[in-house]
Amino acid sequence: MDEKVKISMLLEFYGKLLTKKQAQFIEDYYNNDLSLSEIAENENITRQAVRDIIKKGEKKLFEYEEKLEVMKRTLNQEKRIAKALSELTKIQKDYSDKQIAIVLENVKKELHYIV
């Protein structure tokens, strides 16, 4: 997984645990595609200060994930749900019983809702 995507996802999971500045600067840098210089100018601080705040925030995000593994578990859950949906679709195609088809469709809807 691309490092930028990973950090963006970690921010989604753990952003509330960061300071407001860390979360906002990481959001601006990774999701809003602002440069360090642009963020620094907006905040009236140095580019180096912005970089330091972002790096500290990134470090915390990775520490939280290492300890809590929320992103890892979520991605694994999504893979399992996708596999279950695929299997349900196979069953639905292979069997013509309308009751089975209705039940399978309801299960698929519920799984899609979770994802």
pLDDT tens profile 62-81: 999 999 999 999 998 888 88
Instruction: Say which CATH architecture domain 3-68 belongs to.
Output: Orthogonal Bundle (1.10)
Instruction: Dump pLDDT digits (tens) for 90-112.
Output: 776 766 677 777 777 888 888 87
DSSP for 30-47, written as a single string: IIS---HHHHHHHHTS-H
Instruction: Dump pLDDT digits (tens) for 8-62.
Output: 999 999 999 999 999 999 999 999 999 999 999 999 999 999 999 999 999 999 9
Per-residue confidence (pLDDT) for residue 1, from 0 to 100 = 80
The most distant pair of C-alpha atoms in the chain lies apart, rounded to whole Å, by: 68
